[in-house]
Amino acid sequence: MKYSIALVQYLNTWPFSTGMKLMQLNETFEIHHAIPSVCARLYAEGKVDISLCPIGALEDLPVHEIRGNYCIGADGSVETVVLFSKVPLEEIRSVRLDSHSRTSNKLLRILAERHWCQDWHFYFEEGPHLSESCLMIGDKVFDHKKDYPFQYDLAAAWKEMTGLPMVFAVWIVRPGIPDSIMETLDSACALGLDILQNGDSGLDEWQKKYLIEKISYPLDHPKIKAMRLFLEMAESLDLVQTQK
C-alpha cells in the first residue's frame, strides 16, 4: 500500500523533505507539498493519510493520532512568524491575519490578550498590498522585513510569556497506520537533520543558520507541554474566524 503525505512546503521542512528524497520515499509515499492550512485540509478531506499539520487545526480534524519524534518548533525567536507593523505595538488598532496558518493566527490572539493586553480588530484581506499591521508567516517574511519598522516575533513572545518553546506543526496519522511507517519517516527526518548539521547541505549560509539556530525539531516533553498549554489557551479564547 502506498500511503499519502502532506508536507509543508516552507524552508523549515528542509530536513524532512531532504531526508525523504535521499531515502527515495517518493517510491513508498505519495507526497503533497502545500502551505500549512492546506496540509490540514487535505487530511480533513481524507486525501492524505499522514500530515505535518499545524496544531491550531487539530481540534477541527477527524480522528487522528500525533506520532513521530519530530515537529516544527522554536525555543525562542523563530523569525518566520512575525507581527509586522508601521506603528508601535501600543498604537496598533487592527491586524491583518495570515490565511496560511490557523496556528499563528490563534497564537497572535493569545499573545494580544494575555501577553500584550491589547484589544485589536483582526481581519482577513486578499491581495498583495501591505497593511499597516499584519501577521506574516513562512518564507515570505524574509522578503518583507525591510517594509516594516516594528517587528514582533511571536515565538519569542510566547517563550517570554510561558517560559516554554512553541510548537507550530506535528505529524498526525490516521489510526491504524503501522508503527513502521512513522519509524521510516523519523529515520528520514533524522537523516535530513544530520546532513544539515554535519554534511554538505548545499544551502546558503543564512538558510543553514536559520534552520539550525531558529527551528527546533525534536518533539520532546517541553514541547508537548507547550502544545497542550497552547491548545488550552486557544480553546478559552472567544475567537472569531481565524482561518478561511
Tell me which DSSP letter residue 130 carries.
Answer: P
Q: Which residue's entry shows cell 501600543?
A: 90
Please indicate whether residue 93 or residue 131 has the higher confidence score (pLDDT): 93
Nearest to 81 by CA among 40, 51, 58, 111: 111
CA distance linking residue 120 with residue 90, whole number of Å: 10
Residue type, 244: K
Angle at 76 between CA 103 and CA 36, to 5 degrees: 25
Mean pLDDT of the chain: 93
- Average of pLDDT values for 61-67? 96
Residue type, 240: V
CA distance linking residue 199 with residue 180, whole number of Å: 26
Integer distance in angstroms from the first to the last C-alpha of the chain? 33
Superfamily the domain 3-74+167-208 falls into: Periplasmic binding protein-like II (3.40.190.10)
The whole-model pTM stands at 0.92
Asked if 108 and 228 touch (Cβ cutoff 8 Å), the reply is no
Residue 168 backbone dihedrals phi, psi, to 5 degrees: -100, -35
Asked if 7 and 38 touch (Cβ cutoff 8 Å), the reply is no
Please indicate whether residue 216 or residue 129 has the higher confidence score (pLDDT): 216
Quick one: pLDDT band at residue 101, thresholds 50, 70, 90? confident
155-169: pLDDT as tens digits: 999 999 999 999 999
Residue 28 pLDDT:
86
* Domain residue ranges in the chain: 3-74+167-208
CA distance linking residue 243 with residue 90, whole number of Å: 25
Asked if 87 and 210 touch (Cβ cutoff 8 Å), the reply is no
121-141: pLDDT as tens digits: 999 987 656 789 999 998 889
Asked if 34 and 6 touch (Cβ cutoff 8 Å), the reply is yes
- Average of pLDDT values for 191-195? 97
Residue 124 backbone dihedrals phi, psi, to 5 degrees: -110, 145
